[in-house]
Structure 1
Amino acid sequence: MTQYAEQEFLNALDEKLWAAADKLRNNLDAANYKHVVLGLIFLKYVSDAFEERQQELKSLFTQDNSIDNIYYMPRED
Structure 2
Amino acid sequence: MKLIVFVTNDGDADASVDALVEQGFRVTRLATTGGFLRRGNTTLLVGVEDSQVEQAHALLKQVAPGTLAITMDLDRYERL
Q: What TM-score do you get using the length of structure 1 for normalisation?
A: 0.20
Higher RCO (CA-CA < 8 Å; seq separation 6+): 2
Q: What TM-score do you get using the length of structure 2 for normalisation?
A: 0.19
Structure (1 or 2) with the greater strand fraction: 2
Structure (1 or 2) with the greater helix fraction: 1
